[in-house]
Structure 1
């Protein structure tokens, strides 16, 4: 099956062209290509491959981003899915036999990889989390604020705010990220939070001088910024703070002439309602499968 390693600048430029046209579904892949040189990606143990039906120089119909730590992100066109590209990817890729592996992407692509891993290695994901993938075209947000939100201050965060926001980040990861009951490592969380505050657009809300909510980007692609880490203290949920904070973040993203994308867990009806009001549109189902 025609998968080819993208090892040269020319091959990576072909991968980039495909990603740009599909970035609404893979902003974090776009961010890797936009921010990293080929040497950077080699140092980070990240590699790309691409799929064609017409030889190595044929039109790119799918790509796969993968690293040596077992993370995989396939991005497939409908033509590639019909041609069985995902099945081939799961059956022969070096990480497929790893004890620990994570596969994420649009549902059709992930399902194809899962089916191939099942057939070839007899393995099933230990955890499988389903989301809606939602996008919003660039444009300012004008929406009235609730009484409680009017009492808040909304501030741009940077690395100086790491310790001020750390407790909320840990709570967010425990609530939304950890899937196997393990505890969050505060030191690792602090390290990654500090990096995000240096590189990403992150805003937080204060109420009575205390940080109570946060939201930001976690990947900045070519034309899409991916939003993540949206969290409000439980006692203040339902008072419009998250909506107002997202409004501030979206207006900032629009200043960079970027579209916005996020994925939200399917049972999270309250968050979905907020994103609907802010102009997001559900585009597809998104899945993260964890093999252990």
Structure 2
């Protein structure tokens, strides 16, 4: 931990005598129950951390180099933040986020994105910004939506799980969705990492697709992050040749149906300017329950 963060923010006037009300350290195995308490306070917004804990079984640093930084007041864990390739806060108040952003900035680490509850993300970014390269994009308002029951819209029965041998057929659609959504190709820096991610989704039956008679993808979506309490839907994409034909609602209803087989809540977040997507999700039955933000590098 010492190589990344000090126990307190050293720029505070009381930095020489650390204040007890805000201490940062990397979490270990013994902190797992407290981290779960934080995660379960909002299992939809915190699905990323819940999924990590379910897979890893512990709050301790991962073998890939990611770690969870906790904010303590006394012995109580009051907020946390995943720091790996991405930065993902959990229950982080604005002041804690600002302190952590400065600490991360001074550590010299670089990240691909910051995402999660908007107030936490933007507070981290407010003090990380002076240390960071210019971001590719800052999306400060992304409605977080959820649905807890099957949609009233009849599901499109043609949607199914992608099969392993169909990786090459679905990969171009995945890349097209990524580029439309993020603004650059997922192959920047190399194709293999992205291929492995898509293949992993297919292997876990978290990739859904429908093909036309010519073998072209009509619609696809992923159950991108899955925990026992929530599924976060990602990668929703309709082939431009099939847009405007009234097909999206039936496909999304089918995605919701598959999601609710895995967890009691299906969720997603969407850019506030994407009015067409927001209208679709409202039709399917999603309701707004929070606000996310994303900083992309």
Distance (Å, rounded) in 1 between the aligned partners of 2:142 and 2:288: 6
**Partner residue of 2:294?**
288
Pick which of 214-223 and 93-102 moved more. Answer: 93-102
Matched, 1:22 2:47: no
Secondary structure of 2:260's partner?
A: helix
Distance (Å, rounded) in 2 between the aligned partners of 1:181 and 1:216: 16
What are the Cα deviations for residues 261-285 of structure 1, in whole angstroms up to 9, with x where unaligned?
Answer: 1111121111111111111112233
RMSD over aligned CA atoms reads: 2.7
TM-score scaled by length of structure 1: 0.83
Could you list the structure 1 runs, at least 4 aligned residues long, displaced by more than 6 angstroms after superposition. none
Secondary structure of 2:280's partner?
A: helix
Distance (Å, rounded) in 1 between the aligned partners of 2:62 and 2:287: 36
Distance 1:39 1:64, change over 3 A: closer
Displacement of 1:258:
2.4
Matched, 1:277 2:292: no
What are the Cα deviations for residues 50-95 of structure 1, in whole angstroms up to 9, with x where unaligned?
Answer: 2233x12x2x32110111x4x2111225xx33xx111110111367
TM-score scaled by length of structure 2: 0.82
**Partner residue of 2:194?**
189
**Partner residue of 1:142?**
152
Distance 1:94 1:115, change over 3 A: closer
Unpaired stretches in structure 1, ≥5 consecutive residues: none
Secondary structure of 2:175's partner?
A: helix
What are the Cα deviations for residues 157-201 of structure 1, in whole angstroms up to 9, with x where unaligned?
Answer: 232321221111111111113458985844433221101111242
- The structure 2 residue matched to 1:109, chosen from 120, 123, 132, is 120
State whether residues 132 and 283 of structure 1, in contact with CA within 8 Å, keep that contact through their aligned partners in structure 2. no
Pick which of 155-164 and 177-186 moved more. Answer: 177-186
State whether residues 102 and 289 of structure 1, in contact with CA within 8 Å, keep that contact through their aligned partners in structure 2. yes
**Partner residue of 2:180?**
175
Secondary structure of 2:177's partner?
A: helix
- The structure 2 residue matched to 1:73, chosen from 88, 91, 104, is 88
**Partner residue of 2:78?**
61
Equivalent runs, 1:250-261 vs 2, <5 Å: 250-261=256-267
User: 1 or 2, which has the higher helix percentage?
Assistant: 1
Distance (Å, rounded) in 2 between the aligned partners of 1:61 and 1:244: 41
Unpaired stretches in structure 2, ≥5 consecutive residues: 1-21
